[in-house]
Homo-oligomer: A and B are copies of this chain.
Amino acid sequence: MSEIRHIKPAGEAIFKDRFTTKAKELLHPWSEGEKGKFGLVGLPHSKPSISHSGASLAPNAIRHAMLSYSTFSGEAERELTDRILDFGDVYMDPTDIIGNHHRLYEALSDVYHTEAAENWILLGGDHSVSYASIKAISEMHGSIGIIQFDAHHDLRNTEDGGPTNGTPFRRLLEDNIITGDQLVQIGIRDFTNAKAYHEYAKEQDIQVYTMADVKETGMRKILQHQVERLKQTFDSIYVSVDMDVLDQAFAPGCPAIGPGGMDSYTLLEGIHYLAACKEVKAMDIVEIDPTVDIRNMTSRVAAYVILQFMKGKS
Q: Which residues of A are interface residues toward B (Cβ below 8 A)?
A: 1-11, 14-21, 23, 27, 29-32, 41-42, 44, 47-52, 54, 56-57, 59-60, 63, 68-77, 79, 86-98, 103-104, 106-107, 110-111, 114, 156-157, 159-164, 166, 188-198, 208, 210-212, 215, 247-250, 252, 256-260, 264-265, 268, 291-292, 294-295, 297, 300-301, 304, 307-308, 311
A94–B15 contact, CB under 8 A? yes
Chain B residues near A86: list those with CB within 8 A.
10
In the complex, which residue of chain B has the Cβ closest to the Cβ of A306? B191
In the complex, which residue of chain B has the Cβ closest to the Cβ of A52? B54
Q: Which of B23, B114, B161 contacts A93 (CB 8 A)?
A: B161
A264–B268 contact, CB under 8 A? no
Q: Which of B5, B11, B252 contacts A295 (CB 8 A)?
A: B252
Chain B residues near A156: list those with CB within 8 A.
17, 19-20
Chain B residues near A300: list those with CB within 8 A.
248, 257-259
**Given A8-B89, A95-B98, A161-B93, CB of A194 within 8 Å of CB of B73:** no
Closest 8 CB pairs of A and B: A95-B162, A19-B196, A4-B110, A20-B194, A94-B161, A259-B264, A72-B195, A69-B191
Chain B residues near A249: list those with CB within 8 A.
249-250, 264, 297
B10–A304 contact, CB under 8 A? no
Please list 21 pairs of residues, one from A and one from B, whose beta carbons are closer than 8 Å in the complex, sorted by A's number.
A4-B110, A4-B114, A6-B107, A7-B87, A7-B107, A7-B111, A9-B88, A9-B89, A14-B91, A15-B160, A47-B47, A69-B191, A69-B192, A74-B193, A75-B190, A93-B161, A95-B164, A215-B265, A249-B249, A259-B297, A259-B300
B91–A8 contact, CB under 8 A? yes
CB distance from A65 to the nearest CB of B (A): 9
Give me 5 other A-B pairs in contact (C-beta within 8 A), A7-B89, A9-B89, A249-B264 excluded.
Answer: A6-B106, A17-B160, A70-B193, A93-B162, A190-B308
For the complex, give the distance between the alpha carbons of A256 and B297 in Å. 11
**Given A190-B75, A250-B249, CB of A4 within 8 Å of CB of B93:** no
In the complex, which residue of chain B has the Cβ closest to the Cβ of A42? B10
A72–B42 contact, CB under 8 A? no
B74–A190 contact, CB under 8 A? yes
Q: Which of B5, B57, B59, B71 contacts A103 (CB 8 A)?
A: B5
B72–A160 contact, CB under 8 A? no
A52–B42 contact, CB under 8 A? no
B15–A161 contact, CB under 8 A? yes
B70–A194 contact, CB under 8 A? yes
